[in-house]
């Protein structure tokens, strides 16, 4: 019991430092972050021009999640290739693998939360507000950010072990992220249609289960990817 507490405590400290490192790294190389932001804004603008007045709640919903998926894949794919293998070896000697993956997921969660809120505000600005049930939509954004960050961080870790990992990231992540994305789109469709919260409990439970299970799987499986 005591030992368990100590390891959790150590994880906590390690995660705190590693997340801090991720943030400092991102702020040091601002062009990466700026690149993702520009990608997000220009994609939304292109779809805005392409669709002109033809935006129904249904298309609004699909466009929003598809754009967010592409932004997420682009933003998270760098997670394990940004730093040199030598640096990874250094982290390997000083931190536990569990702390590394949890800190990456946590950092990507921050990133995705910010990006999804930005995407939402740009959608409001350019395509008008189609969301009826705003609290539910925001809840979907939170669960979606967590889900996308955990699934895609794990896929990025897998893809980083192979060559040509940028094209591989897309091939691996699109089918694997679909269960999550389909559920998210279903919940957010209902947020666009009515104020009604009934009938959603099943879908929300599924979303939370996917999130918890993916994080648990990442926690258990990442050590095998980490050591060569």
Interface residue list for other proteins (CB under 8 A)? 151, 154, 158-159, 161-164, 168, 171-172, 174-176, 178-180, 182-183, 186, 202-203, 206, 209-210, 213-214, 217, 221, 224-225, 228
Judged by CB, which is closer to other proteins: 102, or 119? 102
Least separation in angstroms between residue 163's CB and other proteins is 6
Spatial separation of the C-alpha atoms in residues 16 and 153, rounded to whole Å: 18
Least distance from other proteins to the Cβ atom of residue 185, Å: 12
List, as one string, the DSSP characters of 12-29: HHHHHHHHHHHHHHHHHT
Residue nearer to other proteins on the CB measure, 127 or 172: 172
DSSP 37-95: HHHHHHHHHHHHHHHTT---HHHHHHHHHHHHHHHHHHHHTTTTTSS-HHHHHHHHHHS
Kindly tell me which of 195 and 216 has the beta carbon lying closer to other proteins: 216
Closer of 127 and 151 to other proteins (Cβ): 151
Report residue 109 as tokens.
Answer: 């969660």
Question: Long-range contacts made by residues 61-66, C-beta under 8 angstroms, separation at least 24?
Answer: 61/130, 61/185, 61/188, 61/189, 61/192, 62/185, 63/123, 63/127, 64/119, 64/120, 64/123, 64/188, 65/144, 65/181, 65/184, 65/185, 65/188
Q: How far is CA 188 from the centre of its chain?
A: 17
Minimum Å distance from CB 160 to other proteins? 10
* Of residues 119 and 146, the one with the C-beta less far from other proteins: 146
Nearer residue to other proteins within complex by CB, 37 or 193? 193
Q: How far is the CB of 100 from other proteins (least distance, A)?
A: 15
- Compute the least distance from the CB of residue 4 to other proteins, in Å: 22
Provide the token pair at 67.
Answer: 């754009």
**Nearest approach, Cβ of residue 81 and other proteins (Å):** 14
């Amino acid at each position: 019991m005591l030992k368990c507490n100590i390891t959790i405590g150590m994880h906590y400290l390690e995660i705190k430092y590693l997340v801090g490192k991720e943030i400092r790294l991102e702020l040091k190389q601002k062009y990466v972050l700026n690149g993702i932001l520009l990608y997000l804004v220009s994609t939304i603008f292109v779809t805005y021009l392409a669709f002109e007045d033809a935006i129904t709640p249904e298309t609004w919903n699909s466009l929003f999640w598809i754009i967010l998926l592409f932004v997420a894949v682009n933003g998270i794919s760098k997670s394990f290739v940004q730093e040199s293998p030598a640096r990874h070896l250094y982290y390997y000697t000083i931190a536990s693998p569990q702390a590394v993956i949890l800190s990456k997921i946590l950092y990507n969660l921050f990133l995705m939360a910010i990006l999804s809120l930005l995407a939402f505000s740009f959608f409001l600005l350019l395509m008008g507000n189609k969301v009826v049930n705003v609290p539910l939509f925001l809840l979907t954004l939170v669960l979606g950010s967590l889900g996308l960050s955990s699934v895609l961080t794990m896929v990025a870790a897998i893809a980083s072990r192979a060559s040509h990992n940028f094209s591989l990231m897309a091939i691996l992540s699109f089918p694997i992220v679909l269960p999550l994305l389909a559920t998210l789109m279903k919940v957010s469709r209902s947020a666009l249609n009515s104020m009604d919260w009934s009938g959603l409990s099943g879908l929300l439970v599924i979303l939370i289960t996917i999130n918890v299970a993916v994080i648990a799987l990442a926690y258990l499986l990442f050590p095998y990817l980490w050591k060569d």
